Amino acid sequence: MITRKDLETLYSAEVIVTLSPEESQKLRLLQDDSRFLAEIGLPRHAPPFFTTEVSGGPEFLLPIDIPTSSGGIHREVIIGGPPGDAKMRFSLDTDEGFVTLVQLAGKPRFEVANRNLAEFVEFIYLIDSHRRRASDHPDEAKDSLAELSLRLMSINSVVFEEPENWWSIALGHLSAMEG
């Protein structure tokens, strides 16, 4: 599991976003997510797949309440999006803890990106670690990408079952970038 030290080693403390328990409570986050954001956090910017500094709306940490057919309210909280893509957002489901990818343009599309916030941040961390390693050692990029794929699939293989799923596309993008 990812630690605060892992994030600080890769990014630096200044670019890690954390929330106080009070802020998490206002957003109605689950206890595990609240603790994760207070103790570990998430990177502000991890190109090319994630940033909290989204362009356009909905903005970072905006809660979106969706009426349910049973008369209740389902809440999603925006946690970021792909850099430069104003039409996609990652959101945190405050009932189940899933991280979903939401396509805002055209017909809205939702996809579970990860089972929980900790897993999502670990994916971001592992991908960015690989990307930096491949940049520093291009001759090792192919082997590093193969190791990354195996590692991510060992964490959650379900998110790779469809070639159109976000993480399948992300790995394909990395493979194309590294030739």
- Each residue's pLDDT tens digit, 34-80: 999 999 999 999 989 999 999 888 999 999 998 999 999 999 999 99
By C-alpha distance, which of 4, 3, 113, 110 is closest to 64?
110
Give the domain ranges of the chain.
120-178
Residue 156 in 3-state DSSP? coil
Distance CA 87, CA 56 (A): 9
Distance CA 6, CA 42 (A): 11
By C-alpha distance, which of 119, 97, 99 is closest to 32?
97
Q: Is the pLDDT of residue 106 over 90?
A: no
- Residue 179's pLDDT band, with cuts at 50, 70 and 90, is low
pLDDT reported for residue 177: 83
